[in-house]
C-alpha cells in the first residue's frame, strides 16, 4: 500500500472517531514504534542521498499533516464531551439555596460594640504595635527593672533583638498617645496582648485587653473614674445599672490603685450582673495615673488622669456564661453556630 493512500485512510479514520482512547489507539498504528509511517522512515537507510532527501521531505510533510489532524480531532472530541457534560449537568436555578450566612464572632462583636460606643462619646480609638520595646511596655509605665513581669517566664522576648518583646498590655498605647497627642486626651484601646501562660480553661498566651485613659489639665478625681467605670460595666453587660466595689491594690502605673468588683447573683447556674446580688466578682484594675508615667511621656505640666483595664475574654465569658476560654478560639462549627444564635437572640 502506498504511503499516500495509507495516509488518506488514516485521516478519514481519525476524523470519524469520538473518544480520546480510540484516537490514541489509531495514532499508535500510524505513528507508533511499529506504525505505518515509522516503517517508511526506516526505508531511508537504503536510499541514495538524492532519494533520501526527497523521500524524507515527503514523509515529514505527511507526519506534520497527520499530527495536525489528530490534534484538531482531539480538540473537537473534548469540546463535544464538555458540551454533553454541561447539558447533562445543567444547574436548576429554581432549587433552594443554603440560607445559612456567616456572622461576627462573639469577640469581634463585643469589640465593635465598645468601639462604637466610645467613639460616639468622643473618645479616640487607638491601637499600637504588638511588638514593643521595654521602654513602652515597662519603663514608661513605672515598672522597675527587678519586677517579675519583666522576666522571660512571664514575657515573650524577641530572640536576637535586645529589649524587644510581644506587648504584655495595651498600656503601651496610652504611653504613645500621651507622647503624641495634646491634652485633654480621652481614649480607649482594644488589642491583642501576649503573656507566657500555659493554655487552660482560664488562661491563654494571647488575649485581648480593653484599656481606657482620660487625662486633662483640669482636675479629675476618683469620683470621675468610678462614674466612668459604672457606665462601662453597665454597657458591656447590657444592664441599666450596676453596683461596683473598689478595693485598694497596687499597680506601678497608677496611684492610688484599685481592683474593681461587680455585684452579681446566680440564676439557674448562670451569673446575672445586677445591683441586688449577694456576691462580688472581680473584673479588672483601675486607678489615677502615676506622676512618674506623666514624666516618662514628657508631660511637664501637672495633669490629672485616670486609667482602667479589663480582659475582653473574661468579660465575654462572664456575660455569656462561657466556662472555658479555649472555646472562644475553637474552630468547631457547632460552637460558632451557637455564638451566632446567642448574638441573634
What is the number of domains present in the chain?
A: 2
Residue 94 lies in a domain: no
Cα 235 from Cα 315, distance rounded (Å): 11
Are 137 and 49 found together in one domain?
no
Share of the chain above pLDDT 90, in %: 40
Residue 100 lies in a domain: no
* Grid cell listed for 70: 489528530
Share of the chain above pLDDT 70, in %: 97
Are 262 and 302 found together in one domain?
yes
Cα 156 from Cα 204, distance rounded (Å): 13
- For the ranges 10-14, 249-253, 317-321, 323-327, the one whose mean pLDDT is highest: 249-253
Residue 96 lies in a domain: no
Tens-place pLDDT, residues 293-335: 999 999 888 899 999 999 999 999 888 888 888 888 888 888 8
Give me the CATH number covering residue 161. 3.30.930.10
Q: How confident is the model at residue 160 (pLDDT cuts 50, 70, 90)?
A: confident
Tens-place pLDDT, residues 116-150: 999 999 999 999 999 999 999 998 998 888 877 77
Q: How confident is the model at residue 21 (pLDDT cuts 50, 70, 90)?
A: confident
pTM of the model: 0.68
Are 56 and 171 found together in one domain?
no
* Grid cell listed for 215: 487625662
Are 159 and 21 found together in one domain?
no
Are 193 and 275 found together in one domain?
yes
Cα 23 from Cα 74, distance rounded (Å): 8
Are 166 and 313 found together in one domain?
yes
Q: What is the pLDDT of residue 344?
A: 64
Are 220 and 278 found together in one domain?
yes
Please compute the mean of the pLDDT values over residues 273-300 and round it to a whole number.
Answer: 89
Instruction: Name the residue range of residue 37's domain.
Output: 3-88
Residue 98 lies in a domain: no
Are 147 and 249 found together in one domain?
yes
Q: What is the pLDDT of residue 345?
A: 59
Domain C-terminal end among 88, 116, 136: 88
Contact 280, 259 (CB under 8 A): no
Tens-place pLDDT, residues 48-87: 888 888 888 888 888 888 889 889 989 998 998 888 888 8
Amino acid at each position: 500500500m502506498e504511503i499516500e493512500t495509507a495516509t488518506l485512510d488514516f485521516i478519514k479514520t481519525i476524523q470519524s472517531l469520538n473518544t480520546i482512547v480510540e484516537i490514541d489507539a489509531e495514532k499508535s498504528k500510524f505513528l507508533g514504534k511499529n506504525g505505518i509511517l515509522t516503517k517508511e522512515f526506516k526505508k531511508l537507510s537504503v536510499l541514495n542521498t538524492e532519494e533520501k532527501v526527497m523521500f524524507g521531505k515527503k514523509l515529514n510533510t505527511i507526519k506534520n499533516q497527520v499530527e495536525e489532524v489528530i490534534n484538531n480531532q482531539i480538540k473537537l472530541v473534548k469540546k463535544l464531551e464538555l458540551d454533553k457534560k454541561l447539558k447533562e449537568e445543567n444547574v436548576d436555578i429554581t432549587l433552594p439555596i443554603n440560607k445559612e450566612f456567616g456572622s461576627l464572632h462573639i469577640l469581634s462583636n463585643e469589640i465593635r460594640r465598645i468601639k462604637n460606643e466610645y467613639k460616639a462619646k468622643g473618645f479616640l480609638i487607638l491601637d499600637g504595635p504588638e511588638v514593643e520595646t521595654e521602654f513602652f511596655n515597662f519603663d514608661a509605665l513605672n515598672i522597675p527593672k527587678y519586677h517579675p513581669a519583666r522576666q522571660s517566664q512571664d514575657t515573650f522576648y524577641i530572640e536576637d533583638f535586645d529589649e524587644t518583646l510581644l506587648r504584655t498590655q495595651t498600656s503601651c498605647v496610652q504611653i504613645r498617645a500621651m507622647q503624641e497627642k495634646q491634652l485633654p486626651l480621652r481614649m480607649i484601646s482594644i488589642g491583642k496582648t501576649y503573656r507566657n501562660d500555659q493554655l487552660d480553661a482560664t488562661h491563654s498566651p494571647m488575649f485581648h485587653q480593653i484599656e481606657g485613659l482620660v487625662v486633662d489639665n483640669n482636675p479629675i478625681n476618683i469620683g470621675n473614674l468610678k462614674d466612668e467605670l459604672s457606665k462601662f460595666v453597665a454597657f458591656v453587660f447590657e444592664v441599666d445599672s450596676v453596683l461596683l466595689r473598689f478595693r485598694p491594690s497596687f499597680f506601678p502605673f497608677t496611684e492610688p490603685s484599685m481592683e474593681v468588683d461587680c455585684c452579681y447573683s446566680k440564676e439557674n447556674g448562670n451569673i446575672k450582673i445586677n445591683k441586688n446580688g449577694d456576691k462580688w466578682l472581680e473584673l479588672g484594675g483601675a486607678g489615677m495615673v502615676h506622676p512618674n508615667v506623666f514624666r516618662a511621656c514628657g508631660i511637664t505640666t501637672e495633669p490629672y488622669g485616670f486609667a482602667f483595664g479589663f480582659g475582653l475574654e473574661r468579660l465575654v465569658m462572664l456575660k455569656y456564661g462561657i466556662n472555658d476560654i479555649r472555646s472562644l478560639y475553637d474552630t468547631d462549627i457547632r460552637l460558632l453556630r451557637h455564638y451566632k444564635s446567642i448574638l441573634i437572640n
